[in-house]
Amino acid sequence: MKEGLAMVNWLLPSAPADKLIPKEQRHSAFIKYRTRILVSTILAYASYYIVKSNFTLSSPYLTKDVGLTTADIGLVLSALAISYGIGKFFMGLLADRLNPRYFVGVGLILSAIFNTFFGYTRNLWVMILLMICVGVTQGIGAPCCQKSLATWFDEHQLGTATSTWNISHNIGSGTASLIVAGTVGAFGAANIHNIFLIPSLISIVMALIVMALGVDTPESVGLPKVNKNKEKNIKHKTSWGAFRDNIMKNPIVWALCIMNAFSYILRYGIENWIPIYLSTSKGFSSVATNSAFTIFEYAAIPGTILLGLLSDKVLNGRRVPIMLFTSTIILVLIPFYAVSQNIVIVDIILGILGICIYGQQVLIGIVIMDALPVESVASGIGLSGFFGYAFGEVIASYGIGSIVGKTSWNAGFGIVAVSSIICIIFFVFLLKKYHNTL
């Protein structure tokens, strides 16, 4: 019994240190620990993405060697999206009551274990069940990471810190592609289990590194609390009480959760269909298609950092004007992306779209973090993730795929364009209602 309690206790928030670090040492201590937080959260979420991207990158081999159809692939991806959205919400509630340093590592290890099992089955329904387990445990990652950032960085640093952390999406996706390609080159495509085993083992090792490198709260290491002004009225002893008062009664959070669904339609309506669209509709070679996809992902790395820095340093913590700008640029570029046959122009357009889409999404998350006390940040991020994946990605994947199959690519781009218009309308509304704060 005591051993079982001990196993649970280490997941609970750390107790405050017995004494504070002397004032003259606090500045350097904050720099050290904030660096550790930023590095550990980037490594953690990049590793989560290595697991999350594994199935998508392995799908060509699953169709060829296992015999899955395109419909089967879509079904498994839908199971991942829905379970991830639900998992992100409920795990966000849980993350607000646990130590994110260890909870994020536990989630990554569990996700990697389920991913490993996936490579050893050929039964579609077992695959779907395992992918649901992967999705739920994947839902631990983002809420934990963003809670840590909100705990350690104040409102004038949070945009830069979170946009820097957001490059973990792109690092993880790119690294996953290299790992899968290297595994196939070393062991062959027929050994499907290795394609899932190797990334999973790497992620488990990374989970251990992340738990060793991470930190819970400033108070746990003898530093004063950050963002004290956001914590004055905290009195909730239960997750439900905090969720009810901080989130359910917060119109900004609900508006941004709805916006996140449309933002995810923009993201996955472009990202998920780049390979198929460029190869089948435009006739691009596999090299040109892969290069275009890489540009979309990696242009976002400096772009999102720049947009976060801009919101912090130039706009003094205001994010919505930049999100309005990115939505407008996306709407303008969609027709050019649809009609252009020039590889260079398509690459440039995808690079700009990558910056705008990823930049917009990270800023939505930052506004939610700004609008909530630290005790509810993970729950808020989880709720927005539920809207993004359970509605946005499912529409962008299954919805656009079905419509394009029955009509044309223009209809699919129409859905993306309408989503960008809705984003623009919402952001204009937020600007007018919360002019000087968002």
pLDDT at residue 3 above 60?
no
Final residue in a domain of this structure, among 193, 225, 257: 225
pLDDT at residue 259 above 90?
yes
Per-residue pLDDT band for 431 (boundaries 50, 70, 90) equals confident
User: pLDDT tens digits, residue range 77-110?
Assistant: 888 989 999 999 999 889 888 999 999 999 999 9
Q: What is the pLDDT of residue 262?
A: 97
Range with the poorest average pLDDT among 58-67, 143-152, 205-214, 315-324: 58-67
Per-residue pLDDT band for 231 (boundaries 50, 70, 90) equals low
Per-residue pLDDT band for 244 (boundaries 50, 70, 90) equals confident
Residues 85 and 207 placed together within one structural domain of the fold: yes
- DSSP single-letter state for residue 342: -
Residues 262 and 369 placed together within one structural domain of the fold: yes
Final residue in a domain of this structure, among 174, 203, 225: 225
Per-residue pLDDT band for 398 (boundaries 50, 70, 90) equals confident
Give the mean pLDDT of 337-366: 94
Whether 402 maps to a domain, the answer reads: yes
Q: What is the pLDDT of residue 438?
A: 77
User: 3-state secondary structure string, the chain?
Assistant: CHHHHHHHHCCCCCCCCCCCCCHHHHHHHHHHHHHHHHHHHHHHHHHHHHHHCHHHHHHHHHHHHHCCCHHHHHHHHHHHHHHHHHHHHHHHHHHCCCCHHHHHHHHHHHHHHHHHHHCCCCCHHHHHHHHHHHHHHHCCHHHHHHHHHHHHCCCCCHHHHHHHHCHHHHHHHHHHHHHHHHHHHHHCCCCHHHHHHHHHHHHHHHHHHHHHHCCCCHHHHCCCCCCHHHCCCCCCCCHHHHHHHHHHCCHHHHHHHHHHHHHHHHHHHHHCCHHHHHHHHCCCCHHHHHHHHHHHHHCHHHHHHHHHHHHHHCCCCCCHHHHHHHHHHHHHHHHHHHHCCCHHHHHHHHHHHHHHHHHHHHHHHHHHHHHCCHHHHHHHHHHHHHHHHHHHHHHHHHHHHHHHHHCCHHHHHHHHHHHHHHHHHHHHHHHHHCCCCC
User: pLDDT tens digits, residue range 12-67?
Assistant: 888 888 889 999 999 999 999 999 999 999 999 999 999 998 888 788 788 778 88
Give the mean pLDDT of 196-219: 96
Whether 10 maps to a domain, the answer reads: no
Residues 217 and 139 placed together within one structural domain of the fold: yes
Q: What is the pLDDT of residue 109?
A: 98
CATH code, domain carrying 314: 1.20.1250.20
Share of the chain above pLDDT 90, in %: 50
pTM: 0.83
Give the mean pLDDT of 270-299: 83
Residues 292 and 427 placed together within one structural domain of the fold: yes
User: pLDDT tens digits, residue range 182-203?
Assistant: 888 888 877 889 999 999 999 9
The number of distinct structural domains making up the chain is 2
First to last CA, the chain: 49
pLDDT at residue 2 above 60?
no
Whether 4 maps to a domain, the answer reads: no
pLDDT at residue 263 above 90?
yes
The backbone torsions φ and ψ at residue 164, rounded to the nearest 5 degrees and listed phi first, read -65, -45
With H, G, I as helix, E, B as strand and everything else as coil, classify residue 436: coil
Per-residue pLDDT band for 235 (boundaries 50, 70, 90) equals low
Whether 3 maps to a domain, the answer reads: no
Residues 75 and 191 placed together within one structural domain of the fold: yes
Range with the poorest average pLDDT among 133-147, 205-219, 291-305, 413-427: 291-305
Residues 136 and 257 placed together within one structural domain of the fold: no
Average per-residue pLDDT for the chain: 88
Residues 182 and 253 placed together within one structural domain of the fold: no
Give the mean pLDDT of 165-181: 87
Q: What is the pLDDT of residue 17?
A: 87
Give the mean pLDDT of 316-342: 94
Q: For residue 368, what are the domain limits?
A: 238-438
Range with the poorest average pLDDT among 205-214, 234-243, 326-335: 234-243
Whether 22 maps to a domain, the answer reads: no
pLDDT at residue 114 above 90?
yes
pLDDT at residue 6 above 90?
no
Q: What is the pLDDT of residue 27?
A: 92
Final residue in a domain of this structure, among 173, 193, 225: 225
Residues 191 and 48 placed together within one structural domain of the fold: yes
Give the mean pLDDT of 277-297: 83
Q: What is the pLDDT of residue 237?
A: 60
Per-residue pLDDT band for 343 (boundaries 50, 70, 90) equals very high
Question: pLDDT higher for 131 or 7?
Answer: 131
Q: What is the pLDDT of residue 134?
A: 97
Residues 220 and 245 placed together within one structural domain of the fold: no
Q: What is the pLDDT of residue 185?
A: 86
Residues 93 and 133 placed together within one structural domain of the fold: yes
Measure the CA–CA gap between 45 and 26, rounded to whole angstroms.
Answer: 28
User: pLDDT tens digits, residue range 118-133?
Assistant: 999 999 999 999 999 9
Whether 11 maps to a domain, the answer reads: no
